[in-house]
Amino acid sequence: TGASRGIGRQIAISMAKEGAVVIVNYNGSAAKAEDVVKEITEAGGQAEAVQCNVSDYSAAEVFLKDIISRYKRIDILVNNAGITKDGLLARMSEAQFDAVASVNFKGVFNMCRHVSGVMMRQKHGRIINISSVAGLYGNPGQFNYSATKAGVVGMTLSAAKELGPRNITVNAVAPGFIETPMTAVLTETQREAALATVPLGRYGKPEEVAAAVAFLASDDAAYISGQVIVVDGAMSM
């Protein structure tokens, strides 16, 4: 989900290289999603761009039913779509809180809810949720975002226990500071402050998050479930 740019775009490209048929989900950016599809197909892969606002429960159901009816199965779900609306708690509006919760938290529920049936019938599935180190350790100015990303970990753990008996693994990847359009909006001062906390001394690349996702989706990770893999250059330890 949210695969038209940033980490989601790279996950789509990396998964296609591994042989996955990729549904490049987007909400508003059809042209960018089509660019991702073009990049995949030109490299010999198979992909299709499909619009869906993940925060809409009914739309998520229609989106997944359409894919199941045309492709007959869904092996891997990567819940990547996410937004930020940062601000200090004392000044945070209800709208700021609700907007972030509706995409980052409810969106993951919507997609997991509607994919669980087909994965259970298949007796096979991989769900990989993109959390954040902010959800594990908190971050000033990100009360709403951290809450949703901690919620993603909770959903990951419960789903791993519930769906495990049907051979479905559920894991999360928690990135640190990754170079994407989401972090490009930070000021130079904010970027320098963030970088100073990273022992590896650099920002992460979308490819480095996508590699963890691809591993969790691979046969090599068949016995790994209910885990959170942190990809943050040792920033949070």
Select the residue interacting with ligand NAD from 14, 27, 116, 169 (CB under 6 A). Answer: 27
Select the residue interacting with ligand NAD from 83, 92, 120, 198 (CB under 6 A). Answer: 83
Is 145 considered catalytic here?
yes
71, 145, 203, 223: the active-site residue: 145
Instruction: Between 30 and 222, name the residue whose CB sits nearer to ligand NAD.
Output: 30
CA 33 – CA 37 distance, rounded (Å): 6
Select the residue interacting with ligand NAD from 14, 132, 146, 156 (CB under 6 A). Answer: 132
> Is residue 182 a contact residue for ligand NAD (CB under 6 A)?
yes
> Is residue 45 a contact residue for ligand NAD (CB under 6 A)?
no
Select the residue interacting with ligand NAD from 70, 123, 181, 190 (CB under 6 A). Answer: 181
> Is residue 49 a contact residue for ligand NAD (CB under 6 A)?
no
Shortest Cβ 65–ligand NAD spacing (Å): 17
Shortest Cβ 175–ligand NAD spacing (Å): 4
Give the contacts of 26 (CB within 8 A, at least 6 positions apart).
2, 3, 4, 32, 33, 49, 50, 51
Catalytic residue numbers? Answer: 145
State the residues that interact with ligand NAD by CB under 6 A: 1-2, 4-8, 25, 27, 29, 53-55, 80-83, 103, 107, 130, 132, 175, 177-178, 180-183
